[in-house]
Amino acid sequence: MNQNGLFDLTGKTAAVIGGGSGIGEAVAIGAAMQGANVVILDANVAAAQAVAARVPGAGAAMLDIRDCGAVNAAFDVIVGDRGRLDIVICTPSINVRKPILQYTSEEFDRVVEVNLKGSFNVLQAAGRVMTAQRGGSIVIFSSIRSQVVEPGQSVYAMTKSGILQLVRGGATEFGPFGVRVNAIGPGVVETPLTAPIRANAEWYNAYANKSVLGRWARADEMVGPTLFLVSDAASYVTGTILFVDGGWTAADGRFTPPGM
């Protein structure tokens, strides 16, 4: 292995799902800066096209990950156009913050359909392509909520734990074909989707103080960990989750005992 090019993605084709905004946008731009040929897929095609316009050689297309046929078709188009699909990064998820006793069946189905079924559709479709070509790397975004939870986050946390198990299962099944599958576990990140929390000073500060770094993450701080997992630097890393949470899951409380 060339140690000088561990993070170099030159010549690799990367599909970034959710690349029209937030974390996905930052990751798509970061992958392109490392030399990848990037295709930005997003349910908001206008947003995907706007990001692609800033990335030389990038493509953009609409994709709803809830639609299994659409996911397969999108990957087939990429392979037809670019010859291979080396990297798939899947960032989208939704959340309905409600206590269990107030959750409706429709809300449950909506969260599960995007977060869990959508992630499964991506894993299955990417696995089909990559096992056939005998190589590739898949990264699906989970969360710290795969490990820890708070009131109103039960269904979201359930899906994020499910994603982690999907990743582990995919790694065991695809590994013999040279395909790696991993997850990223962000903490709290400043994106358009978290704007309502940031607007509430008490809520914002509570989350900031839960991190041992005392702040939220920026979307661009998800780029390095994600690109590590898809690069040759992580060639022996599969079936795991990389937490990018500022120490959120490491710390057990905030009280400092006397004398410390």
DSSP labels, 133-156: HT-EEEEEE--GGGT---TT-HHH
Q: How far apart (Å, rounded) are the C-alpha atoms in residues 178 and 38?
A: 21
Pairing of strands 217-218, 179-186: unpaired
Active-site hit among 156, 204, 207, 236? 156
Q: Could you tell me what percent of the chain has a pLDDT over 90?
A: 90
Least confident of 48-57, 137-146, 246-255: 246-255
Q: How far apart (Å, rounded) are the C-alpha atoms in residues 180 and 127?
A: 10
Q: How far apart (Å, rounded) are the C-alpha atoms in residues 99 and 257?
A: 34
Per CATH, the number for 7-244 is 3.40.50.720
pLDDT of residue 70: 98
Kindly report, residue by residue over 199-256, the tens digit of the pLDDT: 999 999 999 999 999 999 999 999 999 999 999 999 999 999 999 999 999 987 666 6
Kindly report, residue by residue over 59-98, the tens digit of the pLDDT: 999 999 999 999 999 999 999 999 999 999 999 999 999 9
Strand order of the β-sheet with 87-90 is 59-62, 37-42, 13-17, 87-90, 136-141, 179-186, 241-244
Pairing of strands 217-218, 189-190: parallel
Residue 1 confidence (pLDDT) above 70 = no
pLDDT of residue 4: 63
Q: What is the mean pLDDT of residues 116-136?
A: 98
Q: What is the mean pLDDT of residues 159-168?
A: 98
pLDDT of residue 14: 98
pLDDT of residue 260: 60
Q: How far apart (Å, rounded) are the C-alpha atoms in residues 222 and 189?
A: 9
Q: What is the mean pLDDT of residues 101-111?
A: 98
Could you tell me the CA-to-CA distances from 231 to 91, 134, 173, 218, 223 in Å, in that order?
17, 16, 20, 22, 12
- Domains in the chain: boundaries: 7-244
Residue 259 confidence (pLDDT) above 90 = no
Q: How far apart (Å, rounded) are the C-alpha atoms in residues 161 and 88?
A: 20
pLDDT of residue 43: 97
Annotation says 156 is catalytic: yes
Least confident of 128-132, 134-138, 195-199, 228-232: 195-199
E-strand stretches of 142-258: 179-186, 189-190, 217-218, 241-244
Kindly report the average pLDDT of the chain as a whole number: 95
pLDDT of residue 191: 86
pLDDT of residue 257: 66
